Amino acid sequence: VLQRYGLVLLWLLMIALFGVLVPGQVSGPDALKAVLGQQTPLVFLGLALVCTMAVGEFDLSFASIFGLAATTVPALVVLHGWSFPAAAAAAVVVAAVIGAINAVLVVLVGINSVIVTLGIGSVAGGAAYWISKETSVSGMDSALSAIALDRFLGLPLLFWYGAILVAAFAYMMGATPLGRHILFVGSNREVARLAGIPVTKVRMGAYLTSALICGVGGVVIAAGLGGFDPATAETNLMPTFASVFLGTVVVVPGRFNPIGMFIAVYFLLTGVFGLQLLGLAGWVTNVFYGIALVLAVTVSFLLQRRVRG
């Protein structure tokens, strides 16, 4: 139990510690609600990364795909007069096309995934600057923010979208044949192929699903913000990797899993929120995420080596 849920215990201890260090400024429940209510794309991006990491792929383009989708929506609506539904659909299609390019080059052509996704991510980032005319685009109808910011049980809909997606993916990976295929492919592709699993389709599907999640996440975030600054997309890269690797030490130790990632996202956001309450920000946040990533990768590596015997 401690191995599976030790991070949850550490999360509660962190909240208690910040409560002692910052007495009287914010209560525990209020702090937790503030953390869970943050308008962050990390759950969407973490789930997108889990899709590829679970099948043994490495993707460096997800943050740029998200940024391009989030920039496409306000750029088309504000700068070109499109309706929001049309702009949202275009953003998701653009994300899917980039995911398909990743899948073809990595899976069918056989180019190294790090090289491909790094290059494609750079192209997507450049395209976001181009479509936004190298500026932050805002000015969408404020009523659209209800898509992300309307409250249910005291938390914004953005939180519930992420929770529902995570629950659906957790069920798929843990209780369906597709989920078992993903785990087999991620563990050993050759053995999976010999067992009759369509390895190529599973790997390509992972890239496409990842890109679609980034596209949908970009649309929701852009609606909530009323616009988007393409320069902020890459700031999500480090926190997402830290969350995904840290998620492998909880719930299903040694494996990339959606629920572990979900817990890790809010564990890290709690740490950042606490540091901000203590008056620490800027470089401290980067150091915190960097240390979390290194520790998470180290522990994940040790756990995976233990699981594989």
Q: Tell me the average pLDDT across 37-53.
A: 89
Is 118 exposed, middle or buried (CB count within 10 Å of its CB: 0-12, 13-18, 19+)?
A: middle
* Percent of the chain residues topping a pLDDT of 70: 92
Q: What 8-state DSSP symbol labels residue 151?
A: E
pTM: 0.87
Mind listing the pLDDT tens digit for each residue in 286-307? Answer: 787 788 778 777 776 676 666 5
Whose CA is closest to 230, among 20, 100, 77, 66? 66
Mind listing the pLDDT tens digit for each residue in 96-149? Answer: 999 999 999 999 999 999 999 999 999 999 999 999 888 888 888 888 888 888
Report residue 23's pLDDT band, with 50, 70 and 90 as the boundaries.
Answer: low
User: Do 119 and 59 contact (CB within 8 A), yes or no?
Assistant: no
Distance CA 120, CA 286 (A): 25
User: Do 214 and 91 contact (CB within 8 A), yes or no?
Assistant: no
Domain boundaries, the chain: 38-231
β strands within the chain, DSSP E: 137-138, 151-152, 155-156, 227-228
**CA neighbours closer than 13 Å in the CB half-sphere of residue 189:** 10
